[in-house]
Chains A and B, each alone.
Chain A
Amino acid sequence: MHGGEIIPTSTLWLIPALPLAGLLLAIVFGDRKRLVTIVAPGVVGIAFAVALASVVTLLRAPAGARLVDDVYPWIVAGPFRADVAFRVDALAAVMVLIVTGVGFLIHVYSVGYMAHDESLPRFFAYLNLFMFAMLLLVLADNLVVLFVGWEGVGLCSYLLIGFWYEKDENAAAGKKAFVVNRIGDLGFVLGLLLLAWSTAANGAISLDVAHVEEHVHLLAPQTATAVALLLLVGAAGKSAQLPLYVWLPDAMAGPTPVSALIHAATMVTAGIYMIARLHVVFLASPFALEVVAIVGAATALFAATIALVQTDIKKVLAYSTVSQLGFMVLALGVGAFATAIFHVMTHAFFKALLFLGAGSVIHGMSGEQDVSQMGGLREKMPITWWTFLVGTLAIAGAPGFAGFFSKDEILAHTWGTGHYALWAVGAFTAGLTAFYMFRLLFLTFFGELRAAPEIAHHVHESPPVMTVPLVILAALSIVGGWVGLPEGWLWGPAFGRFLAPVTGHSALGEHGAGVETALMLVATLLAAGGATLAYVFYVRMPGLPYLLAWRLKPVYELLVGKYWIDELYDAVVVRPYVALSNLLWRIVDQMMIDGAVNGVATTVLANGQLWRYVQDGNVQHYALVFLGGAIALLSYYLVR
């Protein structure tokens, strides 16, 4: 919460500035690939070190303290003021370490993955720009600065999805991502405007985090709800929640490390982070929190069902990301802000691992992404196989792995706050998750290789520059969850205690440890059931899925068609808008408005045409009129 000691520093600006410097160097030395492959990961590595140093400083300080680096006054207009200022409190500390740490690993991995791409410097320039924006977002002490990072990561997402711009569908996917994000941003901006005016006090309008926290009590209940729901729209856009999730699956058109970094580990968690950062606003509106929880649970289930039947390895992971983000939003909705961030962290580990593993597979398969063309890669790619297995176990919630602790904490909080229906949805989704992840694992690594011979011939394990990050992430996917054990186990929820000064303690513990253990058991059993089912379906009886798909054809097609949401948006939003625009242009603008303008001109002209017959240039006609006029005048005077 607010209060706490403020420790002024002047080093935090370095953390985002380093990747920015990397970007500038990549622009200047764009033709020297080798240099770029050293500088780009290097700056992120240094940024990680600086971040680590800052976090150590924070840890040494009393609990609740925060580091603040006020760099310069940015926008000052009338009563409004926004400074470029950075803060590291517990929440930002976690995020900044995730972003720079995972970011660094993915940068290293990219050196191998993108080695053969001629546009490698451009790739690293974008990636560094992304790191800059993301760090701005995470470290911002002011919501307007946060918004700079917020839109900045959207921009990088746009650029990186369309990185291979020569394919039309990539460019289209990039645009879609940006526009859908913009819709969310619109909600965010409106939320900020309302928040700014509603928390204005003492003649000052400010969006400093501290100012908002301090004056949040000025929000009337309805205003708080409005602000929170608008912010939720923003979070739904960035964190791919219903109904704005549609851009994320398409975003897989980008290079795989991008999918890992931006569309799994970091950028998409920005919405979660933002809600956690502004949780005081959400706490002011129980109704809005309830909506958050429902949106999260619905998204988790919805995306998981789609993931069941996808055959593109990255699409499965994309829908799984949407589903996992749903879990995080659910956690936010039940007030477990620290737990949501906990899941952000573990998810960053295992989802980055899974994506990088998928990238390794794609790399080895010469670019093939369809799992129906894969199989039996266990022997040919052993490191990828083992690490992918770890990632799958982690996301499925196998006991002891990272995802187990974070997911169970979410479910426990859902139950503990009385959201039994949402808990059921979450637990069921956890089972689905295990099913589709193991399905993916079995299709990829078990059975016979189904690829064309010329591809099969080339299948190979990836170079160390790619596998080493995999191994590190795999290790993190195992131990990453141990910082947040259930209450009463060893050191207990250390992670939650660390975040508590920022996010507050959530209302758990009334049910006691017994209930939590029971819930944990149920979820684990569901996950195990899902995994077993996948084993039966895809290893033991490979014909069964086809039979099932044939029997449940309408359901199957609905899922393969992704509920036809894209088609729906196209028919309801995109096409009518284009048609309306054409109508406005051709009918309203050209015919009506410009027609009126030209009509005035034409009327004047036609009038002139008419009257010019009077001026026919024949002097004798003029003379006749002249005479007539003279006679008329004379007769007037004579008659009068």
Chain B
Amino acid sequence: MTGNVLLSLIVWTPLVGALLVLLVPRDQPDGARRAAFAFSSLTFVLSLALWAGFRADTADFQWIEQGAWVPSFGIQYILGVDGVSLFLVLLTTFLTPLVILFSFGDITTRVKEYFFFLLMLETGMLGAFLALDLFLFYVFWELMLIPMYFIIGVWGGARRIYASLKFLIYTLAASLLMLVAILYLVSVHAHGAAVTFDVRELYGTVLSPTEQLWLFTAFALAFAVKVPMFPLHTWLPDAHVEAPTGGSVILAGVLLKMGTYGFLRFAMPLFPDATRAATPLILALAVVGILYGAAVAMVQPDLKKLVAYSSVSHLGFVMLGLFAVNTIGVEGAIYQMLNHGLSTGALFLLVGVIYGRRHTRAIADFGGLWKPLPRYAAVFLVVMLSSIGLPGLNGFIGEFLILLGSFAANRAATVFASGGLVLGAVYMLWMFQRVIFGPLRHEENAHLQDLTGREIAVLAPVVAMIVVMGVYPRPFLRAMEPSVKALVARIEAHDGPATRIAARVNGQR
């Protein structure tokens, strides 16, 4: 399928837009806004074309583009899409224009720089999802950090410098280990022959159990920080609280998925034996993350922190599904990634709406918002219900499949994790009760403006997707099924040493 350039178009259109935005004169912020929106929308349209042309009957990578980049080191420019990355790409291209549209009213200083970084971030994210060359992936992976660093650090709240530095250093430090692991893996694979970073060829690399464990650990650390898994999550609340609304949405909606995607695409299939050996530990951390995130979220006084900790809980579910290593669990996990992107993204947008009106995010500063803001309250209700996994909305499909899948893999973990269903309802409903229900506690909230047309235009597509994905998940699940099956088979295929490692880690003989 070489010869087509659709994936390249998708990846690079935002960057072209970013550069063009920089050329807009400083005194015309509206021009920058429109240009940014136009280019991100164009990217979305292109990605829709990708979906339309996607073949759901094969596990192979599609729309592959392959070319030499640094031939002397075997580094290539390879892009390709399969059922796993397709929807993450769509999620990215779907959310970015909405975030840009929302930021029209949100960002008033250094407007064009903001949109420059946002578009550059989009290129980074799309590249990371589509890259099939480990080196190229690493480049995109790090490319994402820089715009996010600036978005938090320049347009953030009071402690933005602290938060942005923490975000940058934490994730960077963890991913450096991955770089070392990549180089080691490539050198082992080459073994005197031609060097390649092509992940499709690296999948079959033969490694000793010890090597696998070390390399897996290095990869897993980089991804676990991004997910974020307990106890590597503390950068997240800080980053979310300080980031501007758009930054939070992208961070929660897409960047966190990089971690789980990385596990699924790289860490698990590259090191299947180590994956199985590490499964008990990761499941334990996932379960702890689910319960711990839910408990800590409940007592947060700040809305954004609450949502941030709820992400820790939700991503725990995703990890649980991934490490069930069966079709049902992994499909549920991917679905849950999309759900979390939509519902948590929408939650951050909703928090951004009232923050823009009241300049506070403290739960105690609200209460009784239903009366002045009925439309807002209704949207909030749907999004909240999606987040707690109400059947009929998208969150349920993901959670149910994850639990069903992981039940077969590890019953104890599933039983504990399912406690998150109750705790999740507790913190969300309590927050909703204190913010939306009850009497108007603060006079200044009485005359808040309800959702504006632009805000509705941003939220309506998200709410629509929340409903559609809950009622009719078939097209999504069908498209990802072959790829998921292939990945699961790849992780399960290697037997021999895996059982030995697993036995050792589990303490069985």
Residue contact B438 to A171, C-beta cutoff 8 Å: yes
A491 CB-CB contact with B under 8 Å: no
Residue contact A175 to B295, C-beta cutoff 8 Å: no
Residue contact A76 to B433, C-beta cutoff 8 Å: no
Residue contact A601 to B169, C-beta cutoff 8 Å: yes
- Chain A residues near B415 (CB-CB < 8 A): 190
B212 CB-CB contact with A under 8 Å: no
Residue contact B473 to A175, C-beta cutoff 8 Å: no
Residue contact B397 to A75, C-beta cutoff 8 Å: yes
Q: A77-B327, A78-B327, A175-B433 are in contact. Are A594 and B421 (CB under 8 A)?
A: no
Q: A147-B391, A179-B422, A182-B422 are in contact. Are A196 and B404 (CB under 8 A)?
A: yes
The secondary structure that dominates the B interface is helix
Residue contact B437 to A77, C-beta cutoff 8 Å: no
**Residue-wise interface mask of B (474-492) relative to A, using a CB-CB cutoff of 8 A (1 in contact, 0 not):** 1001100100110000000
A74 to chain B, nearest CB (A): 7
- Chain B residues near A174 (CB-CB < 8 A): 433, 437
Q: A78-B481, A581-B296, A589-B296 are in contact. Are A73 and B474 (CB under 8 A)?
A: yes
Query: For residues 384 through 440 of chain B, which have their beta carbon under 8 Å from a beta carbon of chain A?
Result: 385, 390-392, 396-397, 400-401, 403-404, 407-408, 414-415, 418-419, 421-422, 425-426, 429-430, 433, 436-440
A158 to B326, CA, bound (A): 36
B235 CB-CB contact with A under 8 Å: yes
Which single residue of chain B is at the shortest CB-CB distance from A166?
Answer: B439
**Residue-wise interface mask of B (344-377) relative to A, using a CB-CB cutoff of 8 A (1 in contact, 0 not):** 0000000000000000000000001011000000
The 8 Å CB contact of B485, one of A78, A582, A585, is A78
A597 to B235, CA, bound (A): 9
The 8 Å CB contact of A581, one of B298, B484, B485, is B298
- Most chain A beta carbons < 10 A, residue from B392, B397, B439: B392
A594 to B166, CA, bound (A): 11
Q: A185-B421, A186-B422, A193-B403 are in contact. Are A79 and B436 (CB under 8 A)?
A: no
**Residue-wise interface mask of A (184-200) relative to B, using a CB-CB cutoff of 8 A (1 in contact, 0 not):** 01100110011011000
A71 to chain B, nearest CB (A): 11
A174 to B439, CA, bound (A): 15
Q: Which of A105-113, A148-156, A492-500 contacts B (4 or more CB under 8 A)?
A: A148-156
A551 to B415, CA, bound (A): 49
A123 CB-CB contact with B under 8 Å: no
- Chain B residues near A178 (CB-CB < 8 A): 425, 429
A21 CB-CB contact with B under 8 Å: no
- Chain B residues near A597 (CB-CB < 8 A): 166, 170, 234-235
A355 to B430, CA, bound (A): 29
Q: What number of A-B contacts does a CB cutoff of 8 Å give?
A: 141
B266 CB-CB contact with A under 8 Å: no
**Residue-wise interface mask of B (275-317) relative to A, using a CB-CB cutoff of 8 A (1 in contact, 0 not):** 0000000000000000010011011100000000000000000
Query: For residues 135 through 168 of chain A, which have their beta carbon under 8 Å from a beta carbon of chain B?
Result: 144, 147-148, 150-152, 155, 158, 162, 165-168
**Residue-wise interface mask of A (579-611) relative to B, using a CB-CB cutoff of 8 A (1 in contact, 0 not):** 011101100010001100100010000000000
A80 CB-CB contact with B under 8 Å: yes
B105 CB-CB contact with A under 8 Å: no
Residue contact A76 to B474, C-beta cutoff 8 Å: yes
A175 to B214, CA, bound (A): 47
Residue contact B295 to A580, C-beta cutoff 8 Å: yes
B332 CB-CB contact with A under 8 Å: yes
Which single residue of chain B is at the shortest CB-CB distance from A77?
Answer: B331
The 8 Å CB contact of B371, one of A147, A166, A172, is A166
A182 to B231, CA, bound (A): 28
The secondary structure that dominates the A interface is helix
Query: For residues 221 through 255 of chain B, which have their beta carbon under 8 Å from a beta carbon of chain A?
Result: 231, 233-235
- Chain B residues near A209 (CB-CB < 8 A): none
Residue contact A74 to B391, C-beta cutoff 8 Å: no
The 8 Å CB contact of B407, one of A78, A162, A166, A193, is A193
Residue contact B401 to A148, C-beta cutoff 8 Å: no
Residue contact A581 to B234, C-beta cutoff 8 Å: no
- Chain B residues near A72 (CB-CB < 8 A): 472, 474
Q: A76-B477, A77-B481, A186-B418 are in contact. Are A152 and B392 (CB under 8 A)?
A: yes
A485 to B32, CA, bound (A): 79
- Chain A residues near B478 (CB-CB < 8 A): 76
Which single residue of chain B is at the shortest CB-CB distance from A604?
Answer: B169
Residue contact A593 to B231, C-beta cutoff 8 Å: yes
Which single residue of chain B is at the shortest CB-CB distance from A187?
Answer: B418
A541 CB-CB contact with B under 8 Å: no
Residue contact B426 to A179, C-beta cutoff 8 Å: yes
A581 to B419, CA, bound (A): 15
A186 to B385, CA, bound (A): 16
A129 to chain B, nearest CB (A): 10
The 8 Å CB contact of A197, one of B170, B391, B407, B422, is B407
Tally of contact residues, B, Cβ under 8 A: 58
Residue contact B331 to A189, C-beta cutoff 8 Å: no
A594 to B237, CA, bound (A): 11
A31 to chain B, nearest CB (A): 11
- Chain B residues near A594 (CB-CB < 8 A): 234
Residue contact A168 to B328, C-beta cutoff 8 Å: no
Residue contact B481 to A584, C-beta cutoff 8 Å: no
Which single residue of chain B is at the shortest CB-CB distance from A146?
Answer: B391
Q: A77-B332, A182-B421 are in contact. Are A155 and B403 (CB under 8 A)?
A: no
A67 to chain B, nearest CB (A): 23
Residue contact A155 to B371, C-beta cutoff 8 Å: no
A578 CB-CB contact with B under 8 Å: yes
A183 CB-CB contact with B under 8 Å: yes
A577 CB-CB contact with B under 8 Å: yes
A79 to B408, CA, bound (A): 12
Which single residue of chain B is at the shortest CB-CB distance from A80?
Answer: B328
Residue contact A77 to B391, C-beta cutoff 8 Å: no
Q: A175-B433, A186-B421 are in contact. Are A166 and B481 (CB under 8 A)?
A: no
Q: A74-B474, A78-B327, A179-B429 are in contact. Are A582 and B299 (CB under 8 A)?
A: yes
- Chain B residues near A158 (CB-CB < 8 A): 429
Residue contact B391 to A152, C-beta cutoff 8 Å: yes
- Chain B residues near A151 (CB-CB < 8 A): 390-392, 396
- Chain B residues near A193 (CB-CB < 8 A): 403-404, 407, 414
Residue contact A589 to B328, C-beta cutoff 8 Å: no
Which single residue of chain B is at the shortest CB-CB distance from A177?
Answer: B429
- Chain A residues near B485 (CB-CB < 8 A): 78
The 8 Å CB contact of B295, one of A76, A185, A581, is A581
Q: A74-B474, A185-B421 are in contact. Are A593 and B234 (CB under 8 A)?
A: yes
Residue contact B298 to A578, C-beta cutoff 8 Å: yes
A148 to B415, CA, bound (A): 20
B147 to chain A, nearest CB (A): 23
Residue contact A589 to B234, C-beta cutoff 8 Å: yes
The 8 Å CB contact of B437, one of A78, A79, A155, A171, is A171
Q: A166-B368, A171-B438 are in contact. Are A190 and B418 (CB under 8 A)?
A: yes
Query: For residues 547 through 586 of chain A, which have their beta carbon under 8 Å from a beta carbon of chain B?
Result: 577-578, 580-582, 584-585
3 cross-chain pairs, A with B, having the tightest CB-CB distances, nearest first: A78-B327, A171-B437, A148-B391
- For the complex with contacts A166-B440, A189-B400, 14 further pairs of A-B residues with Cβ separation under 8 Å are A75-B474, A78-B326, A78-B485, A148-B392, A148-B396, A151-B390, A151-B392, A152-B392, A166-B437, A166-B438, A179-B422, A186-B421, A193-B414, A584-B292
Q: Could you pull out 29 A-B pairs where Cβ atoms are within 8 angstroms?
A: A75-B474, A77-B331, A77-B332, A77-B401, A77-B481, A78-B326, A78-B331, A78-B485, A79-B327, A148-B391, A148-B396, A155-B390, A165-B370, A166-B368, A167-B439, A174-B433, A175-B429, A178-B425, A182-B422, A189-B418, A193-B404, A194-B407, A205-B328, A205-B404, A578-B299, A584-B295, A585-B299, A597-B234, A601-B166
Which residues of A approach B to under 8 Å, CB–CB? 72-80, 144, 147-148, 150-152, 155, 158, 162, 165-168, 170-172, 174-175, 178-179, 182-183, 185-186, 189-190, 193-194, 196-197, 205, 577-578, 580-582, 584-585, 589, 593-594, 597, 601
